[in-house]
Chains A and B, each alone.
Chain A
Amino acid sequence: MSNFTKKQVSDLVKGSLDWDTLHMMLSMPKDKERYANYMSVLQDQVSWDDKIIMAFGPHLYLAETTADKSLVTKCSCGHDFGDYRSNWKLNALVYVRDDEEKMQEVYPKLMAPDTNWQVYREYYCPTCGVMHDIEAPTPWYPVIHDFQPDIPALFDWLDLPAPVNA
């Protein structure tokens, strides 16, 4: 088992980790301490105090609020998407590329899907405009609830106390 420093994990998150260390991370058994280091690195990146429990994306977190220890999905800008058990996308802004003109804003002619078959749905943060996710389904497709973590089971695996409201 390898151990990595908080600095190395911070470089990993920034995308600036040297290849030798990155290769070691890939090839060696996983370091259980990664979780604590990673949470600490992520916490340093945000200006708010709610405690980050997990990352859903580069700008999207599961956080335990300081106010009442409820668990919410939260943007790096501080925007609160509500209870983590519900799908954050339903509280986001969506922009649907559903015709050729909108598709050609992102891909050259002939290199984007035909919108009679498939559309792009871009989900933005209503406060800061970060794009948290893009779905590429057929028209009519229900909004996908990507991930519903089992927090108590994870903390059991990590041998750490679980958040009280998990």
Chain B
Amino acid sequence: MTIQEKINGAGTRPASLLPSGLTLNDHRNLILKRTEETGHYNGLETLEFKESDPIGYERIFSKLRAGLVNSREVAKKIAASPIVEQEGELCFTLYNVAGDCIATSTGIIIHVGTMGAAIKYMIQNNWESNPGINPGDMFTNNDCQIGNVHPCDIATIVPIFHEGNLIGWVGGVTHVIDVGAVGPGSMSNGQIQRFGDGVQITCRKTGVNDTPLRDWLHESQRNVRTPKYWILDEKTRIAGCHMIRDLVEETVREEGIEAYERFATEVIEDGRRGLVSRIKAMTIPGKIKTVAFVDVPYAHEDVAVPSPFAKVDTIMHAPCEITVKPDATWRLDFEGCSRWGWHTYNANPVAFTSGIWVMMTQSLVPTERINDGARYATEFRLPKGTWTNPDDRRTAHADAWHFLVSSWSSLWRGISRTYFGRGYLEEVNAGNSNPCNWLQGGGINQEGEIHAVNSFETAACGTGACAVKDGLNHAAAIWNPEGDMGDIEIWELAEPLLYMGRTIKTNTGGYGKYRGGLGFETLRMVWGSADWTMFFMGNGYMNSDWGLMGGYPAATGYRFEAHNTGLLERISEGKSLPLGKDRDPGQCELEKHLGPDAQVKRDKQCITTEAIFENGDLYLNYLRGGPGFGDPLDRDIADVENDLNQNFVLPAFAEKVYGVVISQDKDGAWSVDSEKTVLQRGNIRQARIARGTPTRQWMESERQRIIDKDASVQVQQMFASSFYLSERFLNEFKTFWDLPASWELKEEELGIPMFGAKHHMDLSELPDVHPVIMTEQ
């Protein structure tokens, strides 16, 4: 495990909130010290309570867990935002006094860690002396420098007391629709610094005596575009927190405070042991290397940003070495990551590490018992200065997911190799899709109100292929295991955008023996708005997922938008209309139903900033598919036939990639000729042998390209930024390619601005600020 830096805060000491008389920080440091010394949470080498009274222990767990889940279900009915109410983008978590998670609800459980980091920040920065921590208080946090994923995840944190002593905390989080960033929508781009990323609140006391403070209510509502949703989201969080506080009080009444407090510590050691036993039961010890990338195409004219130094194309680089140790703990080292940047995709280490548990609950620890114990069985190393541990307090984070989902996709592949190796094929996942496009925008909506939108249709992208079955079509997203695309009718109420069509997206699942799940596409026509803008947010020039063991990555993104479409005239004239189904983007099907003066943008620029959309304009929302598993030539012939007949794959690619020999009957149904296919697949294998080059021979030519510095600027920038931050990565690179000792690559050679590369200022340099550090760096 990783022990964080211990801050022994000076400052005034109020009357202790604990029976021990310790400050909250001293209390927490003692737990960390005992954990470090013994390898067991709080030094618990035995689980006395669980072993002596297993029924009592389980009774408390079941009551708390059921209450957390129930509170979430009840509270979400209060919200009006479809993001919360339809998509379930909320979560409630219960913490012990030290801010370590005991149990959590379902939902966006990445916030188990982010809210825990906020509590730890209050503990470590002596909140108990100022502003004070009292029964009935509420604290609000969305500060990305403390660990929040992005500013739109707003957390309400409520302390829980028993007879005057603090006995824990409950946190509730919702993903709000807008935080007043430069760009409208919750995950906008356009801004490139914190000072445009929307309102950020640092563990502020926003309520006393169970009542929100009036200055907070007035200030917060006017700082966002969508105050109605904002207020109801806050009521949702407060209601959930208070229900859970009541539940804890009831549990203490029934079980006794001593039992509750023993439980609140033991359950974390229990969680730690749970992860260790699953690692041992499912994986293979050893070293796994993996890597991920995603594009940041900011040089394009459709990306308008305020500062010239941000107008560069860059690439996110996230190599990872996973070490599964003989003692069944593990270490994830991200040495070699590229630098943070002037965009909204930076991530705090807590967001990164906490999010990994969202993944792991989907395979390694598929249990309701996920808590902070898993973190104590894991070592993370996220080098300082990288995109996932910025060393500058100016960084923007609104769409940290662009990088997070991309880097995590490689972890699925890595860990899946160990499941596959010893026979747990059912657990293999080729990776997650990049859950995008994020359709966002704002202006004056169909109600005549200031509005912002962020379509969460992304919550239902294709999933990765398994080693025994295809990925699920339009099913889920990595950040919320209970994904839902939402009802068309609800989105049309929430957005001034009519649906022209919603269809499965052909050819989006990565090919393989088992293919990735397909994404879907919706074609939206702007209607009823005034002064309306929208933009695109997703991957386009690059894949962030890869296939596994011979499977292909999913398709990349592309952008389609159309202006001056003549659609309103075509509707009144009864002419044909574009109804989605942009099955082969090279065929430009949608353009066939537009007026002669339509202006269309159809390209790979999948990140844009606000563009003006008039009523009648079109926006294609293309939600990505997942990656594939295994050589596509091994795909069952009947499955390919089904893919063809369901428009899951275009015939040309069924022939080329799956090697099937096909024909179509008079009704348009496809069939595959098995005998000819077997022969054709043999021919394709022979053709591969003919066109392949021995790897070592190919390496000679690639080495020469490196010596000649023959690569695009963005590729060179990526390597140069990683080399600057990591001598180890540079040395491994030079060793692998057998480069001369004198070979080097510096950003200075590339003729692009490099603000932030050499000069930066970290949050920790502010007076009286003690950041919470829970990973090696």
B interface, over-half SS = mixed
Binds B, one of A12-20, A43-51, A65-73: A12-20
Contact (Cβ within 8 A) A89 B695: yes
Contact (Cβ within 8 A) A12 B468: yes
Chain A CB count within 10 A is highest, among B281, B418, B423, for B423
Q: Which residues of A contact B423 (CB under 8 A)?
A: 9, 12, 34-35, 37-39, 55
Contact (Cβ within 8 A) A147 B714: no
Q: Which residues of B contact A92 (CB under 8 A)?
A: 692, 694-695
Contact (Cβ within 8 A) A148 B291: no
Contact (Cβ within 8 A) B555 A107: yes
Of A110, A111, A129, A150, the contact of B688 (CB 8 Å cutoff): A129
Contacts A57-B550, A111-B556, A113-B542 given; does A144 touch B290 at CB 8 Å: yes
Contact with B along A121-150 (1 / 0, CB 8 A): 011101111111111111111111111111
Binds A, one of B229-237, B565-573, B610-618, B697-705: B697-705
**Residues of chain B from 393 to 430 with CB closer than 8 A to chain A in the complex:** 414, 417-418, 420-427
Contacts A15-B514, A15-B636, A139-B711 given; does A110 touch B288 at CB 8 Å: no
**Residues of chain B from 592 to 621 with CB closer than 8 A to chain A in the complex:** 602-604
Q: Which residues of A contact B53 (CB under 8 A)?
A: none
Of B288, B417, B418, B694, the contact of A126 (CB 8 Å cutoff): B694
Contact (Cβ within 8 A) A129 B468: no
* Total inter-chain residue pairs, C-beta < 8 Å: 261
Distance in Å from the Cβ of A122 to the closest Cβ of chain B? Answer: 7
Q: Which residues of A contact B418 (CB under 8 A)?
A: 147, 149
Chain B CB count within 10 A is highest, among A27, A60, A137, for A137
Contact (Cβ within 8 A) A106 B511: yes
Q: Which residues of B contact A59 (CB under 8 A)?
A: 550, 631
Contacts A38-B423, A130-B550, A149-B421 given; does A106 touch B653 at CB 8 Å: yes
Contacts A59-B631, A106-B552 given; does A93 touch B585 at CB 8 Å: no
Q: Which residues of A contact B324 (CB under 8 A)?
A: 150
A124–B693 alpha-carbon span in the complex (Å): 9
The yes or no answer to B732 lying at the interface (CB within 8 A) is: yes
Chain A CB count within 10 A is highest, among B414, B547, B553, for B553
The yes or no answer to B536 lying at the interface (CB within 8 A) is: no
Contact (Cβ within 8 A) A142 B426: no
The yes or no answer to B326 lying at the interface (CB within 8 A) is: yes
Contact (Cβ within 8 A) B657 A106: yes
Contacts A95-B691, A108-B585 given; does A58 touch B733 at CB 8 Å: no
The yes or no answer to B304 lying at the interface (CB within 8 A) is: no
Contact (Cβ within 8 A) B633 A154: no
Contact with B along A23-39 (1 / 0, CB 8 A): 00111011010110111
The yes or no answer to B147 lying at the interface (CB within 8 A) is: no
Of A106, A108, A134, the contact of B586 (CB 8 Å cutoff): A108
Contacts A9-B423, A93-B692, A131-B631 given; does A110 touch B284 at CB 8 Å: no
Q: Which residues of A contact B604 (CB under 8 A)?
A: 110, 114
Contact (Cβ within 8 A) B695 A91: yes
Q: Which residues of B contact A32 (CB under 8 A)?
A: 281
The yes or no answer to A116 lying at the interface (CB within 8 A) is: yes
A30–B420 alpha-carbon span in the complex (Å): 13
**Residues of chain B from 315 to 346 with CB closer than 8 A to chain A in the complex:** 315, 317, 324-326, 328
Contact (Cβ within 8 A) B541 A131: no
A154–B542 alpha-carbon span in the complex (Å): 36
Distance in Å from the Cβ of B469 to the closest Cβ of chain A? Answer: 7
Of A95, A116, A148, A157, the contact of B287 (CB 8 Å cutoff): A148
Contact (Cβ within 8 A) A139 B715: yes
Distance in Å from the Cβ of A85 to the closest Cβ of chain B? Answer: 11
Q: Which residues of A contact B289 (CB under 8 A)?
A: 144-147
The yes or no answer to B494 lying at the interface (CB within 8 A) is: no
**Residues of chain B from 518 to 557 with CB closer than 8 A to chain A in the complex:** 541-543, 546-547, 549-553, 555-556
A91–B695 alpha-carbon span in the complex (Å): 6
Contact (Cβ within 8 A) B656 A105: yes
Of B282, B421, B555, B685, the contact of A55 (CB 8 Å cutoff): B421
Q: Which residues of B contact A137 (CB under 8 A)?
A: 291, 293
Of A12, A113, A142, the contact of B541 (CB 8 Å cutoff): A113
Q: Which residues of A contact B290 (CB under 8 A)?
A: 144, 146
Contact (Cβ within 8 A) B688 A143: no
Of A95, A130, A138, the contact of B631 (CB 8 Å cutoff): A130
Of A116, A128, A143, A158, the contact of B712 (CB 8 Å cutoff): A116
Distance in Å from the Cβ of A11 to the closest Cβ of chain B? Answer: 9
Contact (Cβ within 8 A) A146 B602: no
Contact (Cβ within 8 A) A134 B551: yes
Q: Which residues of B contact A126 (CB under 8 A)?
A: 689, 692, 694
**Residues of chain B from 110 to 159 with CB closer than 8 A to chain A in the complex:** none
**Residues of chain B from 692 to 733 with CB closer than 8 A to chain A in the complex:** 692-696, 698-699, 702, 705-706, 711-712, 714-715, 718-719, 732-733
Q: Which residues of B contact A108 (CB under 8 A)?
A: 507, 555, 584-586, 650, 653
Contact (Cβ within 8 A) A58 B634: yes
Contact (Cβ within 8 A) B507 A94: no
Please give me the residue from chain A that is nearest to B425 by CB atom. Answer: A12
Contact (Cβ within 8 A) A117 B714: yes
The yes or no answer to B295 lying at the interface (CB within 8 A) is: yes
Please give me the residue from chain A that is nearest to B690 by CB atom. Answer: A129
A149–B547 alpha-carbon span in the complex (Å): 21
Contact (Cβ within 8 A) A107 B653: yes
Contact with A along B675-687 (1 / 0, CB 8 A): 0000000001111
Please give me the residue from chain A that is nearest to B423 by CB atom. Answer: A38
Contact (Cβ within 8 A) A58 B513: yes
The yes or no answer to B280 lying at the interface (CB within 8 A) is: yes
Of B293, B550, B585, the contact of A109 (CB 8 Å cutoff): B585
Residues of B within 8 A of A (CB): 280-282, 284-291, 293, 295, 315, 317, 324-326, 328, 366, 414, 417-418, 420-427, 467-469, 507-508, 511, 513-514, 541-543, 546-547, 549-553, 555-556, 558, 584-586, 602-604, 630-634, 636, 650, 653, 656-657, 684-689, 691-696, 698-699, 702, 705-706, 711-712, 714-715, 718-719, 732-733, 736-737
Q: Could you list 26 A-B pairs, sorted by A, with CB under 8 Å?
A: A15-B636, A25-B424, A27-B366, A55-B423, A56-B417, A58-B634, A59-B631, A92-B694, A108-B585, A110-B586, A110-B602, A110-B604, A111-B507, A112-B556, A117-B542, A118-B542, A127-B689, A129-B684, A134-B546, A136-B543, A138-B293, A138-B719, A139-B715, A147-B418, A153-B286, A157-B285
